[in-house]
């Protein structure tokens, strides 16, 4: 059986490994800015510009917007777009 990669994990891990600044928008409209320090199934740790680390529950996150364009690695088990 082939193992599928989780797009969310690949995206967050790329931001973490490349130390990309990003904006994290919460469902209540609050915008947090920093770098992804770590993450798991339920939480994201965001290190702010003041070096303080905030623990954010994933269910409270609406959008994660990188400050620069990132290239995601090819996903194992990902479905190909219909036009290919």
Taking the chain (84 residues) in runs of 10, the rounded mean pLDDT of each run is 77 96 98 97 96 97 97 69 54
pLDDT of residue 75: 63
Question: Domain 7-66 has what CATH class?
Answer: mainly beta
**Per-domain residue ranges of the chain:** 7-66
Q: Give the CA distances from residue 30 to residues 33, 47, 62, 75, 76, in Å, rounded to whole numbers and listed in that order.
A: 10, 16, 10, 31, 34
pTM of the predicted model over 0.75: yes
pLDDT of residue 1: 46
pLDDT of residue 5: 74
């Amino acid at each position: 059986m082939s193992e599928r990669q989780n797009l969310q994990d690949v995206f967050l891990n790329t931001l973490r490994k490349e130390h990309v600044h990003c904006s994290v928008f919460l469902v209540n409209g609050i915008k947090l800015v920093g770098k992804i320090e770590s993450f798991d199934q339920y939480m994201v740790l965001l290190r702010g510009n003041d070096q303080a680390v905030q623990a954010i529950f994933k269910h409270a996150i609406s959008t994660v917007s990188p400050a620069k364009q990132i290239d995601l690695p090819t996903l194992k088990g990902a479905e190909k777009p219909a036009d290919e």
